[in-house]
Chains A and B, each alone.
Chain A
Amino acid sequence: MIEEKIVEIYPSDKIQSPVHLSIGQEHHVVAICAALKKDDMVFATYRSHAPYLAKGGDLKAMFAELYGKHSGMAKGKAGSMHLCSPANGSMGSSAIVGSIFSHAMGVAYAAKLKKESKIAVALAGDGATEEGAFHECLNFSSLKNLPILYVIENNGLAIHAPLCIRQSYTLGALAGSYGIDYFLAEDGFDMENIFEKTIKIREGIVNTKRPFLLEIMTYRYKGHVGVAEDYDKGYRGRKELEEWMRRDPLVGNRALIEKYRGRIENEIAEAVNFAEKSGFPPREELLKDVY
Chain B
Amino acid sequence: MATMTYRQALAKAMREALRDNPKTVLYGLGVTDHTGIFGTTLGLEKEFGKERVFDTPISEDAMTGLGIGLALSGYYPIHTHIRNDFMLLAMNQLVNSAAKYKYMYGGCFTVPMLVRGVIGRSWGQGAQHSQSLQSLFSHVPGLTVIMPSAAQSIMDCYRYAVNEYKSPVISFEHRLQYDYSFEVKERRDDQNPFTSYLIRKGSDVTIVAVSVMVQEAQRAAKYVKEKAGIEVEIIDINCLTHPDVDMILESVKKTGKVIVADTSWASFGVCAEVARIIAVNAPDSLKVPLKEISMAKSPCPTTKALEKHFYADMGDIVDNIYQLCSGKEKHNQSLPDEEYKKTLYKEFKGPF
A contact set with B: CB distance below 8 Å: 41, 72-78, 82, 84, 86, 91-92, 94, 96, 99-114, 120, 132-133, 136-137, 139-140, 143, 288-291
Contact in complex: A106, B66 (CB < 8 Å): yes
Is there a chain A Cβ closer than 8 Å to B280's Cβ? no
Residue ID in chain A nearest B110 by CB atoms: A289
Q: Which of B67, B69, B142, B166 has the most CB of A within 10 A?
A: B69
C-alpha gap A76/B93 in the complex (Å)? 23
Q: Is there a chain A Cβ closer than 8 Å to B64's Cβ?
A: yes
Bound complex: CA A111 to CA B73 (Å): 8
Decide if B75 touches A289 in the complex (CB within 8 Å): no
Give Cα A280 to B88, complex, Å.
Answer: 37
A290 neighbours in B (Cβ, 8 Å)? 102-103, 141-142
What separation, in Å, do the CA atoms of A291 and B113 have in the docked complex? Answer: 12
Report 16 cross-chain contacts, Cβ distance below 8 Å, ordered by A residue.
A72-B106, A74-B106, A74-B108, A75-B106, A91-B109, A92-B72, A96-B96, A102-B63, A105-B65, A106-B67, A111-B73, A114-B73, A133-B62, A140-B57, A143-B57, A291-B142
Q: What A residues does B74 contact at CB under 8 A?
A: 110
Q: For residues 156 through 215 of chain B, which have their beta carbon under 8 Å from a beta carbon of chain A?
A: 166-167
Is there an interface contact between B51 and A96, defined as CB atoms closer than 8 Å?
no
User: Cβ of B65 and Cβ of A102 under 8 Å apart?
Assistant: yes
With both beta carbons as reference points, the residue of chain A lying nearest to B73 in the complex is identified as A110
Shortest C-beta distance, B133 to chain A (Å), equals 20
Q: Interface size bucket, B side? A: 35 or more
B59 touches A136 (CB 8 A): yes
Residue of A nearest to B107 (CB): A289
Q: How far is the CB of B67 from chain A (nearest CB, A)?
A: 6
Given contact pairs A99-B93, A103-B68, A107-B73, a sample of 10 additional A-B residue pairs in the complex whose CB atoms are under 8 Å apart: A78-B104, A78-B105, A103-B72, A105-B62, A105-B69, A108-B69, A109-B66, A136-B59, A139-B57, A140-B62
Give bound CA distance, A14 to B77, whole Å: 41
Q: Residue on A with the closest CB to B99?
A: A290
Residue of A nearest to B169 (CB): A291
Cβ of A113 and Cβ of B75 under 8 Å apart? Answer: yes
In the assembled complex, the Cα of A143 lies from the Cα of B57 at a distance in Å of: 10
Chain B residues with CB below 8 A from A72, complex form: 106
A103 surroundings in chain B (CB, below 8 A) = 65, 68-69, 72, 97
A residues less than 8 Å from B52 (CB atoms): 113
For B105, list chain A residues within 8 Å (CB). 73-74, 77-78, 82, 84, 92
Kindly list chain A residues whose C-beta atoms are within 8 Å of the C-beta of B65. Answer: 99-103, 105-106, 133, 137
Q: How far is the CA of A76 from the CA of B104 in the complex (A)?
A: 9
CA distance A114 to B23 in the complex (A): 10
Roughly how many angstroms separate A110 CA and B67 CA in the complex, as a whole number? 10
List the A residue with the shortest CB-CB distance to B59: A136
User: What separation, in Å, do the CA atoms of A235 and B63 have in the docked complex?
Assistant: 37
> Which residues from chain A contact B104 at a C-beta distance below 8 Å?
74, 77-78, 82
List B residues 71-100 near A (Cβ within 8 Å).
71-75, 77, 92-93, 96-97
The answer to whether B101 has its CB under 8 Å from any CB of chain A is yes
Judge whether B324 is part of the interface by a CB distance below 8 angstroms: no
Compute how far the CA of A291 lies from the CA of B103 in the bound complex, rounded to whole angstroms. Answer: 8
Closest to B143 in A: A291
Residues of A close to B316: CB separation below 8 A: none
Q: Please pick, from A41, A94, A96, A102, the residue contacting B62 in the complex, using a CB distance under 8 A.
A: A102
Question: Contacts A77-B105, A77-B106, A78-B105 known; A106 to B70 CB distance under 8 Å?
Answer: yes
Selected from B66, B142, B167, the residue in CB contact (under 8 A) with A102 is B66
Please name all residues of chain A whose beta carbon is closer than 8 Å to the beta carbon of B70 when the two chains form the complex.
106-107, 109-110
| Closest chain A residue, CB of each to CB of B93 | A99
Q: Which residues of B contact A112 (CB under 8 A)?
A: 51
Contacts of B108 in A (CB 8 A): 73-74, 84, 86
Establish whether residues A94 and B102, one from each chain, have CB atoms under 8 Å apart when the complex forms.
no
Q: Are B59 and A109 in contact (CB under 8 A)?
A: no
Contact of A289 with B106 in the complex, beta carbons under 8 Å: yes
Q: Tell me which residues across on chain B come within 8 A of A114, comparing CB atoms.
A: 73
**Contact of B244 with A by CB under 8 A:** no
Q: State whether A94 and B96 are in contact (beta carbons under 8 Å apart), knowing that A140-B59, A291-B142 are contacts in the complex.
A: yes
| Interfacial chain A residues near B66, Cβ < 8 Å | 102, 105-106, 109, 140
Inter-chain CA distance A86–B106, complex, in Å, is: 12
Of the residues A86, A96, A105, A120, contact of B92 by C-beta under 8 Å:
A96
Residue in A105, A107, A132, A289 whose beta carbon sits within 8 Å of that of B103 in the complex: A289
Chain A residues within 8 Å of B75, by CB:
110, 113
